[in-house]
Amino acid sequence: MSPLSSSSCLVSAWRCIASAMVIFFAVGMTSSASAALLIPILPTVPMLDCNGNGIEDSTDITNGTSEDCNSNGVPDECDITDGTSADCNSNGVPDSCDIADGTNKDCDNNGIPDICQFLSGADCNNNGILDPCEVALGAPDCNGNLIPDECETDCDSNGQVDECEITANPANDCDVDGILDLCEYSAELGGDASLDCDGNGILDSCDLAGGATDCDSNSVLDVCQIADNPALDCDTDGVLQSCETDTDTDGTEDDCDD
């Protein structure tokens, strides 16, 4: 082989090696670039530690450091603290779990342990049964307010709830104040007899509203003023003399002037 041929072969070999190296680096760089593009930059996720004990909430729940009775992935104490779950009896357990596991009863199925309703006065007759549950068991409740009738106002002690008496007959409360008229004017029932001055069983205010005579507009029935002081009706015609004609303005109606 001539020296020239040998040189040509060496040059060709170096060219092949150089080409291979270029391809290698090109592929390597391209692969790295592609990998960089394909792998997203992951954000830093803060640790969830609602109770501030330095332990991830999920770990707290897994290892039993915190309970998660409602399986919502949040420690119970955090649910209670942020108001997500109620804990009316302050036992550290959400009320819903107390009810679900039978620790506390919820006879009216309102999601509130009965014990908490007892503490708030929902047992009007102190018989150990919540009022709405007692009604559900058959206790009379004429107005449907889930309170047994025996605990409602019955001012005339006739065994009927006043509100229901009024609903059945609105005339029993002519002034529409929610109180039986009888109890307002009956002295025997603790009322004020002066509210029915003529004793007709109707409040004077209702008599006046219905057109009873009050000629001097003093909000007192004329008939009661005359009954208290007959001299106010000198001619006994049932009309106050102050409302009669007094031509000579002497304070005495004409019919009674001498």
Report the alpha-carbon distance of residue 93 to residue 85 in Å, rounded: 9
Decide if pLDDT at 28 tops 60.
Answer: no
- DSSP secondary structure, 127-162, as one string: SSS-HHHHHHTT---TT-SSS-GGGS--TT-SSS-H
Q: List the alpha helices (DSSP H) in 39-119.
A: 57-63, 76-81, 95-100, 114-119
Q: List the alpha helices (DSSP H) in 148-202.
A: 162-168, 181-185
Annotated domain spans of the chain: 153-212, 214-258
**pLDDT score, position 56:** 94
- pTM score of the predicted model: 0.61
Average confidence (pLDDT) over 36-51: 68
The owner of tokens 């357990």 is 93
Amino acid at 137: L
**pLDDT score, position 258:** 62
pLDDT mean across residues, the chain: 85
Confidence of residue 25 (pLDDT cuts 50, 70, 90): very low
> 138-183 pLDDT, tens per residue?
999 999 999 999 999 999 999 999 999 999 999 999 999 999 999 9
Using alpha carbons, select from 145, 208, 146 the residue that is nearest to residue 174. Answer: 208
SS3 226: helix
Report the alpha-carbon distance of residue 46 to residue 44 in Å, rounded: 6
Report the alpha-carbon distance of residue 86 to residue 4 in Å, rounded: 97
**pLDDT score, position 40:** 58
- The residues, ordered by sequence, that sit 6+ positions from 81 with a Cβ below 8 Å of its Cβ are 50
**pLDDT score, position 244:** 86
Decide if pLDDT at 7 tops 90.
Answer: no
Decide if pLDDT at 44 tops 70.
Answer: no
